Structure 1
Amino acid sequence: MIRLPLALSSVCIASLLTVASVANAQTAAAPAAADAGRLHAADQAFVADATKGVSTQRDAARIATARSTDRDVKAFAERVSTDNAKISDALRAASPRGVDVPKNDPDAAVLASINNLRGADFDKTYIEQVALAGEQKTLAAFQAEIASGRDEQLKAAATKALPTIQEHYAMAQDLAKRKHLATSAQ
């Protein structure tokens, strides 16, 4: 049997206890880190709804710049596409670590509804379904986050983006009025 001096034995035992306590602390911290990635239901709904709304608006605007022959519709679409790319980046940056924010999650049904249209049919459908109804849904998602969200960074991002989305909706209403369409979403 090997005999160690008492001081060396004490150091070894202290080292083992330290390693054991660090391992225990790391194990206890793992669930806490997992909880940090979870969001309150209102914040989760906002991330999903806002991402879908913003990316749908952006992708539909890209289609509009290619398919519409109306310069007012194209101008509106270009503005929405540019602004929503920035809003999308801000949402990803504001999301807590560990929260998956899709880069592009458009509503495929909305895009499909305009994808094969051209000319006046395209413009009418784009204005009614995307510009008015879509912006109204997106606006509601951002307002709900501001009112009931719990994550401060997400609320701040929603608050910062809200004036732009409100402006998009007002522009959509004006565009609908100029094109003699109903100015509220159905």
Structure 2
Amino acid sequence: MIRLTSIPFASIATAACTASLLMVAPLARAQTPAAAETGRLHAADQTFIASGTQAVATQRDAARIASARSSDRDVKAFAERVSSDDAKITAALRAASPRGVDVPKDDPDMSVLASINTLRGAEFDNAYIEQVALADEQKTLSVFQAEIASGRDAQLKDAATKALPTIQQHYAMARDLAKRKHLAGRAQ
């Protein structure tokens, strides 16, 4: 039997402090999920979150500009469809992102938007079809395909897989629109 009088008080206090630190350390780590989650997120998934949300935001905002500026009913119809679909894709990406991971809220590529923002009429329609509907939609398609091929986070891969048919449909619609507007040489 150990007698308390034979154990110095400092030893008891040190043992108690050490025991409490061992119990508190895991709790402190559990309270910082952002650091823990971000540290475990694979580079391909991090790239997808940044590039995917930017690509979709760019498509969505350019489509809103086209809905307001274009006088062509086909371009407007395409833009309205893209804007509606991309709002749903953005919501799905947010929902699929791991807890604690910072997902850019509204981060479109401003250079793309600036390239069409001052144009009007047929010049606007042609630039929108070539630069946004075709070229940027193809980039968006590549970003989502890369996540499906290389991503590690199951929820992000699932979101990319579910969004891919919509993005493929947008690209096919853009190619068809380019052909109808006699931009067929650029619609590959």
- The aligned length equals 178
Give the TM-score taking structure 2 as reference length. 0.85
Q: CA deviation at 1:103?
A: 1.4
Kindly report which structure 2 residues correspond to 1:88-167, keeping only aligned pairs within 5 A, or say none.
Answer: 88-167=90-169
Distance 2:33 2:136 in 1: 38
Q: CA RMSD in A?
A: 2.5
Deviations 1:86-123, CA, capped at 9 Å, x for gaps: 00011011001111111111000000000011100000
- Match for 2:51 among 37, 49, 52? 49
Q: CA deviation at 1:20?
A: 3.6
Identity %: 70
Distance 1:137 1:87 in 2: 15
What is the aligned partner in structure 2 of residue 21 from structure 1? Answer: 22
Deviations 1:68-102, CA, capped at 9 Å, x for gaps: 00000000000000000000011011001111111
Gaps of at least 5 residues in structure 2 are: 5-11
What is the aligned partner in structure 1 of residue 89 from structure 2? Answer: 87
Select between 13-22 and 167-176 the one with higher mean Cα deviation. 13-22
- Structure 2 residue identity aligned to 1:108: M
Q: CA deviation at 1:175?
A: 0.2
Give the TM-score taking structure 1 as reference length. 0.86
Q: CA deviation at 1:22?
A: 1.5
Residues 46 and 141 of structure 1 are in contact (CA less than 8 Å); yes or no, is this contact kept in structure 2? yes
Residues 131 and 169 of structure 1 are in contact (CA less than 8 Å); yes or no, is this contact kept in structure 2? yes
Gaps of at least 5 residues in structure 1 are: 5-11
